Structure 1
Amino acid sequence: MAETIDESKNVELTDEDLESNSKGQLIKRAGQLRDRRNELNQMASERASKRDELNAKTREKVDEAQEHREQRDELNEQVQEHKQKRNELNAKANELFSQVDDTKSDLDLDDGKSLEELKEEIEQLEFRQQTEVLSTEDERELIEKIERKRDQYQDRKEKLDDNGDLDDLKQEAQEVRAEASKHHQKVTELADQAQEHHNQMIEAYREADDIRDDADAAHERFVEAQEAADRHHEDFVRVQKRLRELDKEEERERKDERAAKREEAKAEAEEIYQKFKEGETLDTEDLMKLQKSGLL
Structure 2
Amino acid sequence: MTEAAETPVEDIEMLREKLRELKAKARQDLEELRRDRDKMREYKTLRDEHNKEVRALIESVKAEREERDRINKEIAEAKERRAAIHAQLKSVYDEIRELRSVIVGSPSTDQRRMMRRVEELEWRQQTELLTREDEASIVEEIAKIEATLVKIGQEKEKQDKIHELRRLARRLKDEATEVHQKVLELSEQSQTHHQEVVRIRPQLEQYKKAADTAHQNFVEWLKRVKEGEEKLKEARTQIEEIQGKIRKYASEKQTASRTEKRTQQKVAEQERLDAAVEKLQSGKRLTFDEFILAQRVVSDDSRRRPFRHEAADEDDGDTSESVEDAASTEEAETVEEAMTPSDEPSDDEGELDAELDTEPLQDGQDSTDS
CA distance 1:27–1:234, shift in 2 (3 Å)? same
State the one-letter code of the partner of 1:61.
Answer: H
The question of 1:81 aligning with 2:70 is answered: yes
Match of 1:94 among 60, 74, 83: 83
Residue 198 of structure 1: how far off its partner (Å)? 4.0
- Tell whether the 8 Å contact from 2:15 to 2:242 is kept in structure 1 after alignment: yes
Name the counterpart of 2:200: 197
Match of 2:173 among 170, 173, 184: 170
Q: Could you say what the CA RMSD is over the residues aligned between the two structures, in angstroms?
A: 3.1
- Tell whether the 8 Å contact from 1:62 to 1:205 is kept in structure 2 after alignment: yes
Residue 197 of structure 1: how far off its partner (Å)? 2.7
Within 5 Å, give how 1:275-294 maps onto structure 2.
275-276=278-279, 279-280=281-282, 291=290, 294=293
Name the counterpart of 1:52: 41
Instruction: Name the % identity.
Output: 13
Deviations 1:115-169 (A, max 9, x none): xxxxxxxxxxxxxxxxxxxxxxxxxxxxxxxxxxxxxxxxx9x966972332232
Name the counterpart of 2:352: none
CA distance in 1, matches of 2:81, 2:277: 141
- Tell whether the 8 Å contact from 1:54 to 1:215 is kept in structure 2 after alignment: yes
CA distance 1:242–1:293, shift in 2 (3 Å)? farther
CA distance in 1, matches of 2:260, 2:196: 93
Match of 2:264 among 261, 274, 277: 261
The question of 1:38 aligning with 2:37 is answered: no
CA distance 1:226–1:77, shift in 2 (3 Å)? same
- Tell whether the 8 Å contact from 1:96 to 1:169 is kept in structure 2 after alignment: yes
CA distance in 2, matches of 1:50, 1:240: 33
CA distance in 1, matches of 2:165, 2:258: 138
- Tell whether the 8 Å contact from 1:160 to 1:166 is kept in structure 2 after alignment: no
Name the counterpart of 2:61: 72
Match of 2:254 among 228, 251, 256: 251
CA distance in 2, matches of 1:162, 1:84: 32
Deviations 1:166-207 (A, max 9, x none): 223213212211211221232233123224434433442332
User: Which structure has the greater CA radius of gyration?
Assistant: 2
- Tell whether the 8 Å contact from 2:276 to 2:290 is kept in structure 1 after alignment: no
CA distance in 2, matches of 1:292, 1:201: 105
Name the counterpart of 2:321: none
The question of 1:223 aligning with 2:222 is answered: no
Match of 1:28 among 12, 17, 40: 17
CA distance 1:169–1:293, shift in 2 (3 Å)? farther
CA distance in 1, matches of 2:291, 2:29: 59
- Tell whether the 8 Å contact from 1:58 to 1:208 is kept in structure 2 after alignment: yes
The 3-state SS of whatever aligns with 2:294 is coil
CA distance 1:245–1:295, shift in 2 (3 Å)? farther
CA distance in 2, matches of 1:186, 1:99: 28
CA distance in 1, matches of 2:194, 2:95: 43
Length-normalised TM-score, structure 2 = 0.54
CA distance in 2, matches of 1:100, 1:58: 62
Length-normalised TM-score, structure 1 = 0.67
Range moving further from structure 2, 220-229 or 72-81: 220-229
Name the counterpart of 2:97: 108
Relative contact order higher in (CA < 8 Å, ≥ 6 apart): 1
Deviations 1:86-123 (A, max 9, x none): 111111111111111001100118xx9xxxxxxxxxxx
Gaps of 5+ in 2: 1-6, 102-158, 296-370
CA distance 1:293–1:107, shift in 2 (3 Å)? farther
Residue 218 of structure 1: how far off its partner (Å)? 0.4
Length, aligned pairs only: 228
CA distance in 1, matches of 2:165, 2:199: 54
- Tell whether the 8 Å contact from 1:47 to 1:221 is kept in structure 2 after alignment: yes
